[in-house]
Amino acid sequence: MNVLLLAIDTLRADHLGCYGYGKPTSPALDRFARQGVRAARFMAPGIPTHPSFTTLVTGQHPIRHGIVAQGSKQQLSHRTQTLAQLFLNAGYYTAAFDNLPYHKEHFARGYEMVVDSSRRRGCGLMVMCEEINTRVRQFLKHRAADREPFFGFVHYWDPHTPYWAPPRYRGLFYEGDPCDPAKHSLEALYEHPLGARWKDTWLKTVLKDLGYAEDATLTDADFVSALYDQEIRHIDDGLESVFETLDATGLADETLVLVLGDHGECLVEHGIQFDHHGLYDENLHVPLLARLPGALPAGRTVDALVRHLDVLPTLCEACGIAPPEPLDGKSAWGLFTGSRPGEVLAERLISEECSWQMKWSLRDADHHFILARQEDWYGSPMRELYDVKADPLLTKNVAEARPETVRELERDLEGWIADRCKELNLPGDPLPAHGITMLDPKARRKARKREGARA
């Protein structure tokens, strides 16, 4: 059996049809979901990309592997085995189509072949699925010819900012004037360091390509959200070409294919526009689909909580590979096959971020609790509490109204952090010791001025 892991950066679950979205962004993935298993609650213990993918390839929570932020100087321990190393040692040919090894060496560990199509571009975020798939399809055809089992990892960037799909997708999912002066939904974005930069670069290019005057300014956030959906449709078509190659080469019936996201994207929710900071469902809840004809039931939905750290042990069980120690994840293979349908991998999710914001979150069946270690750019409360059942979109912070629940959840979260620090011989919570990485000093000073003005 072969394994092909297809990871789409910045893909939130609720913008796919198979997760309930009403717009036709994902016909190929919707068909793929009907052919295999869909994990309804696949959640990220760490965001954004570097923490999430490190968790994916180690089966460890960020507090254990230490990569708690994007651009962190922290390095993964050489004693930690990665997913690719496990498959390499088990006799698989291993190949990655990814540019993350350019940033962190552990993303290359265990791969015999690493193909970085983004090296043809000035910015790695701009590499498109068509460029990556040219190499992926060649790889699959070669693997089909020699029949050697393989583990392949492919990392796509299309839904990541700057969203700007090829011309054939432009115009989808939006009607109206993106520069309507009566609309003001992007004003907050332009105050943020990211938005201030984008206004004169990415978004200016979009307007220029659409034929607007040089002094035109985007005003409608719905237009930018539509650009995100266009990129999802773009990568969906790209994935369809991979699925077609698997069929044409005869590999489809003997290849376990996983499609997943590393983190999602806030579009306008929670006051965060077009980025992946904030420990909310828009960022934490991502898709996980799996297909292996004859082994995984078609159309099966797994409702249990599954996390990125569960992927490594799941693939190990599927392929008969002994998992390494220590692990924080558990195998979901029994849930996927239906052999252990009632199994509970975890009753709660603990997540962290330390790139744009320094926060922890704890989510259980009833509550979603967020604890900040440092005030964020937006001046959000240091403690946020949401009633998951009454408010599934997490729109109403009830922390002030339920102080006892806040104290209980904060005690549980702090206890979990303290226990992990003791186990790992850490001097304390790694987030304050690490510091945020993505907010520059000038922006921090501006944030402090905003705090002073509010006071």
Those residues whose C-beta lies under 8 Å from the C-beta of residue 167, and which sit 6 or more positions away, are none
Does residue 80 fall inside a structural domain?
Answer: yes
3-state SS, residue 360: strand
Do 434 and 326 share a structural domain? no
Average pLDDT over residues 433-448: 71
Does residue 431 fall inside a structural domain?
Answer: yes
Query: pLDDT tens digits, residue range 244-298?
Result: 999 999 999 999 999 999 999 999 999 999 999 999 999 999 999 999 999 999 9
| Cα–Cα distance, 10 to 232 (Å, whole number) | 10
Query: pLDDT tens digits, residue range 218-255?
Result: 999 999 999 999 999 999 999 999 999 999 999 999 99
pLDDT at 444: 57
What is the residue whose two structure tokens read 């002066």?
181
445: confidence class by pLDDT, cuts 50, 70, 90: low
Do 122 and 14 share a structural domain? yes
**H or E segment at 318?**
helix 311-319
pLDDT at 441: 52
Q: What is the DSSP letter of 253?
A: G
Q: What is the DSSP letter of 275?
A: B
User: Do residues 90 and 115 lie in contact, with contact meaning Cβ atoms separated by under 8 Å?
Assistant: no
pLDDT at 454: 45
As for how many domains the chain has, the answer is 3
452: confidence class by pLDDT, cuts 50, 70, 90: low
Query: pLDDT tens digits, residue range 29-46?
Result: 999 999 999 999 999 999
What is the residue whose two structure tokens read 């309930």?
20
Do 407 and 303 share a structural domain? no
Does residue 173 fall inside a structural domain?
Answer: no
pLDDT surpassing 60 at residue 442: no
Do 215 and 155 share a structural domain? no
125: confidence class by pLDDT, cuts 50, 70, 90: confident
pLDDT at 123: 67
381: confidence class by pLDDT, cuts 50, 70, 90: very high
CATH of the domain at 441: 3.30.1120.10
Q: Maximum distance among all alpha carbons in the chain?
A: 68
Average pLDDT over residues 371-386: 95
Which range marks the domain in which residue 193 is found?
Answer: 180-219
What is the residue whose two structure tokens read 């990392």?
155
Q: What is the DSSP string of 76-90?
A: --TTSPPHHHHHHHT
Average pLDDT over residues 43-63: 98
CATH of the domain at 342: 3.40.720.10
Do 227 and 215 share a structural domain? no
**H or E segment at 261?**
strand 255-261
What is the residue whose two structure tokens read 């850490």?
426
73: confidence class by pLDDT, cuts 50, 70, 90: confident
pLDDT at 455: 43
Q: What is the DSSP letter of 291?
A: E
Does residue 172 fall inside a structural domain?
Answer: no
| Cα–Cα distance, 378 to 414 (Å, whole number) | 24
| Cα–Cα distance, 178 to 180 (Å, whole number) | 6
pLDDT surpassing 80 at residue 106: yes
Smallest CA-to-CA distance from 165 within 125, 128, 119 is with 128
| Cα–Cα distance, 306 to 289 (Å, whole number) | 12
Torsions phi, psi of 327, nearest 5?
-125, 150
427: confidence class by pLDDT, cuts 50, 70, 90: very high
Residues in the chain: 455
Do 260 and 272 share a structural domain? yes
Do 423 and 341 share a structural domain? no
Mean pLDDT of the chain: 95
| Cα–Cα distance, 426 to 377 (Å, whole number) | 28
pLDDT at 440: 62
Which of residues 298, 323, 346 is at a domain's end?
346
pLDDT at 446: 60
pLDDT surpassing 50 at residue 409: yes
3-state SS, residue 119: helix
Q: What is the DSSP letter of 252?
A: G
pLDDT surpassing 60 at residue 177: yes
pLDDT surpassing 90 at residue 373: yes
